[in-house]
Amino acid sequence: MTEHIDNDVFNKLMKPSNDFSDFVGIKTHLERLNWLLYLESEEVIMVGIVGPSGICKSTIGRALFSQLSSLFHHHAFVSYKSTKQWDDYSMKLCLDERLLSEISCKKDIKISHLSVVRQMLNRKKVLIIVDDVDDIEVINTLVGQTRLVGSGSRIIVITQDKKLLKSQKIELIYEVDFPSYNLAMKMFCRSAFGQNSPPYGFEELAAEVANLSGYLPLGLNVLGSSLKGMKKEEWVDMLPRL
């Protein structure tokens, strides 16, 4: 009976949230991340998501958060870009304030000491995803929190810099690859035409624009949206300016 329930839960987890169902390729990303996260384990596991700007790491992270958050006592998705003027303590305080605001669903919470979040997370099963990390001290702080949270917790760091993760001995890393030509075309055509492939007469133009984007998902979506509804002649006029 338990095995049957576990399998049912696992199968549901493999399905992307409806909020992200239009993201081409999201199912594959989530399947690979779920394998890395090994959700059946009671260990506290930390995973990194790495890739260049525009590869849609944040979207993947949010889809994962949407998919998994109900399985945890507390959950938070926060974006954190370092402010170089801050000292380490101020940085940790700011990160804790953002985590607390997300966990409690209250905006702009202010705290005066670090023990507040530690008390809240103490031995609780939590899911924490921190996006846009570019500071080693943020990762160091999150590594420290792995000693406070409860069994089965998962902490995920999204960054462009793989070396930041390696420096803190985070070995479970999901590298977001560039989409294949076929996937890139599908992404672009969804934005430009509202369908999975280019209509007759637009095949070469669509391929050229996809190449210009460097196959970056963000670029594919932005270019597709900007060209949507235009006639073929307008595409030809626009191409030199892209």
Q: How far is it, in rounded angstroms, from Cα 168 to Cα 157?
A: 12
Residue-by-residue pLDDT tens, the chain, 242 positions: 334 335 555 555 545 556 777 789 999 999 999 999 999 999 999 999 999 999 999 999 999 999 999 999 999 999 877 665 667 778 888 888 888 888 877 777 787 777 777 787 788 899 999 999 988 888 888 888 888 899 999 999 999 999 999 998 899 999 999 999 999 999 999 999 999 999 999 999 999 999 999 999 999 999 999 999 999 999 999 888 87
Number of compact structural domains in the chain: 2
Considering the domain architecture, whether residues 121 and 222 belong to the same structural domain is answered as no
Domain with residue 141: its CATH number is: 3.40.50.300
Last residue of a domain, one of 149, 175, 201: 175
Query: The domain containing residue 20 runs over which residues?
Result: 2-175
This prediction has a pTM of 0.85
Same domain, 216 and 233: yes
Same domain, 231 and 158: no
